[in-house]
Amino acid sequence: MTIGAVSGIGALPGVTMTPSTTATTSTSGGGFGNVLTNAVDNLSGLQNAANSAAVQAVTSGDLTDIHQATLAATRAQVTMELVSAVRNKGIDAFNQIMNMQG
């Protein structure tokens, strides 16, 4: 069984999700981990872009449009909330599996 990408998450600007192509990849433990790693890397890039845009707006005045800094900060915040929610759901699922009695 192959699981496709979630269309809503892939539509967010700056968020790149790479779905696994085969079921064996996702069951080996590398597929989901790779998606989370990519999401954290993208989050780091978005936060760096937001920080540099904010510094440009405040210090040197090189930023021609303040909306760019605002959009970059909002993208970083939304992506952080998304990554945090996925992490929390993963931890909850792990805890539920560990609490199962067989």
What pLDDT does residue 75 have?
93
Higher pLDDT, 6 or 61: 61
Whole-structure pTM value:
0.60
List CB contacts of 68: < 8 A, sequence separation 6 or more.
53
**What is residue 32's predicted lDDT score, i.e. its pLDDT?**
79
Mean pLDDT score of the chain: 77
**Helix, strand, or coil (residue 55):** helix
As a whole number of angstroms, the distance between CA 95 and CA 2 comes to 25
